């Protein structure tokens, strides 16, 4: 029974396919919300298309559905591959998959009825939060036992990040969702916001970021056939990430009446975040130095390379945004929406897609149906996202400066109209990219040419591992 669930790498494949499907669904809901901001009476007074109910579907589906699902799919492939073993249990992987995707599915099926919690990223109803926790815990068990049964002694840096992401999220998730109070899943009073934004930031900082960095550490050396630049920088980047990212959620509520010392901690932490970012990027880019064209010429490598560039941009912008004088203008505006899109789709999303295109053939044993479609998806997403970032940043500056000179929120709305229209239009490119990607995944599974067994058995990261013995 359920033979397909014991097939090697079938759980990883299931995560990758689901991620591609959620990408299309999640961005379609984004369009529904974006159209509302362009023309609020386009579908007026229809409860199940209402903006307040559509926005959380978009946000949760792209965060948990598209990006996190794809990243986890890559992780449960590369961890056993790097350790020269198999995933401890494919069936347990499928169980994690089922829990995780049932929770994501609850967004489009439950939120339209006005059943949600409104704390950003914690909107899923309680039973689905339990499912997410189950998925995280079973993934931890699965990866830990995979590591215990490894045939390769050395733990490559990608493995650290995969394990780190899961064990940290197992702490972040219940804290942020206040899971010990099932009745409201919140604490009374202002302190709730401190827990919420510790969580909100770390869904990106301690779930998406380490999983994406893990993929970059896997894909870039493999594509360029280059040894990892420095083992020492890997260590610094890893430990600095968990030490700094964990401290900075408070910058989301910097202007709220939180304690002053916490404001200081959170701004200092936000600036210090530049350290792990630079260290990781230096390590990755120095690894690929001199082989840039090789990277650019590989469709998957191109995605990961672009993802690291988004990472630099978003992590220069983030610390800047945490400064009180900058926030005085940017907070509450579309600037922040632009920032969150380049973080989730630009950095984590591009790397997740790059990881998927790199690993899909290794997972399913077939060559990609079309490398040109991967490049087409890259172009569509890059155009859409660069435009998104420009348009939303501009709209945010208009709002912020108008408010700062004494205009009300209402007075500024007509000035935003053209930007909201452009943003909806640019969203079409992103949706098209998602659709092209899903088509390519399906066609690869159905019609991709089989890979030679030799390619599948090849050493996953010999070249990269060579770097580890050097100091």
- Residues 322-351 interacting with another protein (rule: CB under 8 A): 328, 331-334, 336-337
Element housing 134 (H / E):
helix 126-148
Contacting range for another protein; rule: CB under 8 A; set: 70-78, 217-225, 261-269, 443-451 = 261-269
Binding of another protein by 297 (CB under 8 A):
no
3-state SS, residue 231: helix
Interface with another protein (CB under 8 A), residue from 247, 308, 370, 440: 247
Binding of another protein by 463 (CB under 8 A):
no
Binding of another protein by 184 (CB under 8 A):
yes
Binding of another protein by 435 (CB under 8 A):
no
Binding of another protein by 32 (CB under 8 A):
no
Binding of another protein by 146 (CB under 8 A):
no
Report the site for another protein in 186-215 (rule: CB under 8 A). 186-196, 198, 206
- The footprint of another protein on this chain (CB under 8 A) covers a number of residues equal to 88
Count of all residues that appear for the chain in the document: 471
CB of 378 vs another protein, minimal distance in Å: 30
Q: How far is CA 237 from CA 240, 267, 280, in A?
A: 5, 20, 5
CB of 197 vs another protein, minimal distance in Å: 9
Tell me how far apart the alpha carbons of residues 229 and 205 are, in angstroms, rounded to a whole number: 24
Element housing 43 (H / E):
none
Binding of another protein by 78 (CB under 8 A):
no
Report the site for another protein in 95-114 (rule: CB under 8 A). 114
Tell me how far apart the alpha carbons of residues 361 and 444 are, in angstroms, rounded to a whole number: 8
Backbone torsions φ then ψ of 366, nearest 5 degrees: -130, 150
Number of neighbouring beta carbons within 10 Å of residue 134: 17
Contacting range for another protein; rule: CB under 8 A; set: 131-139, 237-245, 275-283, 424-432 = 237-245
State which residue, 118 or 454, has the beta carbon closest to another protein. Answer: 118
State which residue, 140 or 456, has the beta carbon closest to another protein. Answer: 140
CB of 245 vs another protein, minimal distance in Å: 8
State which residue, 172 or 306, has the beta carbon closest to another protein. Answer: 172
State which residue, 116 or 287, has the beta carbon closest to another protein. Answer: 116
Tell me how far apart the alpha carbons of residues 148 and 365 are, in angstroms, rounded to a whole number: 26
Backbone torsions φ then ψ of 450, nearest 5 degrees: -65, 140
State which residue, 160 or 369, has the beta carbon closest to another protein. Answer: 160
Sort residue 332 into left (φ over 0), alpha (ψ -120 to 50) or beta: left
| Residues 366-405, mask of contacts with another protein (x by CB under 8 A) | ---------------------------------x---xxx
Identify which of 435, 437, 286 has the alpha carbon closest to the alpha carbon of residue 350: 437
Tell me how far apart the alpha carbons of residues 54 and 306 are, in angstroms, rounded to a whole number: 29
Interface with another protein (CB under 8 A), residue from 8, 127, 259, 379: 259
Residue with tokens 């909201």: 420
Backbone torsions φ then ψ of 118, nearest 5 degrees: 75, -10
For every residue of 139-206, DSSP letters joined together read HHHHHHHHHHT-S--S--HHHHHHHHHHHHHHHHHHHHTTTT-TTTSS-SSTHHHHHHHHHHHHIIII
Element housing 39 (H / E):
none
Interface with another protein (CB under 8 A), residue from 65, 120, 358, 392: 120
Contacting range for another protein; rule: CB under 8 A; set: 37-45, 101-109, 129-137, 424-432 = 37-45
CB of 459 vs another protein, minimal distance in Å: 20
Interface with another protein (CB under 8 A), residue from 85, 246, 375, 394: 246
């Amino acid at each position: 029974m359920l033979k397909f669930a014991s097939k090697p790498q079938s759980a990883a494949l299931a995560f990758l396919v689901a991620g591609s499907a959620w990408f299309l669904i999640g961005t379609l809901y984004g369009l529904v919300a974006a159209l509302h901001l362009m023309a609020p009476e386009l579908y007026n007074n229809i409860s199940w298309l209402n903006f307040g109910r559509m926005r959380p579907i978009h946000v949760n589906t792209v965060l948990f559905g598209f990006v996190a699902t794809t990243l986890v799919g890559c992780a449960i492939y590369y961890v056993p591959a790097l350790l020269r073993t198999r995933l401890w249990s494919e069936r347990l992987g499928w169980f994690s998959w089922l829990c995780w995707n049932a929770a994501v599915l609850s967004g489009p099926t439950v939120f339209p009825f006005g059943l949600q919690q409104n704390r950003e990223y914690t909107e899923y109803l309680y039973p689905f939060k339990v499912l997410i926790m189950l998925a995280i815990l079973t993934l931890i068990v699965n990866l830990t036992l995979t590591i215990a049964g490894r045939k390769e002694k050395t733990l490559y840096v990608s493995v650290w990040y995969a394990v780190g992401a899961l064990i940290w999220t197992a702490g972040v998730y219940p804290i942020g969702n206040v899971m010990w109070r099932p009745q409201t899943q919140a604490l009374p009073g202002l302190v709730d916001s401190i827990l919420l934004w510790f969580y909100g930031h770390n869904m990106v900082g301690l779930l998406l970021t380490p999983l994406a960095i893990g993929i970059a550490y896997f894909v870039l050396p493999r594509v360029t056939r280059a040894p990892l630049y420095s083992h020492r920088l890997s260590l610094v980047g890893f430990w600095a990430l968990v030490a700094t990212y964990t401290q900075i959620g408070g910058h989301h509520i910097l202007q709220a009446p939180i304690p002053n010392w916490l404001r200081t901690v959170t701004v200092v932490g936000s600036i210090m975040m530049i350290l792990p970012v630079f260290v990781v990027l230096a390590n990755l880019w120095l690894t690929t130095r001199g082989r840039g064209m090789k990277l650019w010429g590989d469709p998957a490598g191109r995605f990961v390379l672009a993802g690291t560039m988004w990472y630099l941009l978003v992590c220069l912008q983030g610390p800047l945004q945490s400064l009180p004088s900058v926030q005085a203008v940017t907070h509450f505006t579309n600037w922040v929406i632009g920032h969150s899109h380049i973080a989730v789709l630009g950095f984590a999303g591009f790397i997740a897609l790059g990881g998927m295109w790199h690993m899909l053939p290794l997972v399913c044993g077939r060559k990609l149906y079309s490398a040109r479609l991967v490049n087409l998806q890259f172009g569509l997403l890059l155009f859409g996202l660069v435009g998104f970032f420009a348009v939303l940043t501009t709209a945010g500056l208009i709002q912020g400066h108008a408010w700062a000179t004494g205009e009300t929120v209402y007075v500024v709305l007509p000035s935003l109209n053209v930007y909201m229209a452009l943003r909806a239009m640019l969203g079409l490119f992103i949706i098209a990219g998602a659709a092209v990607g899903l088509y390519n995944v399906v066609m690869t599974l159905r019609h991709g040419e089989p890979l030679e067994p030799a390619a599948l058995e090849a050493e996953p990261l010999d070249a990269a591992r060579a770097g580890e013995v050097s100091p």
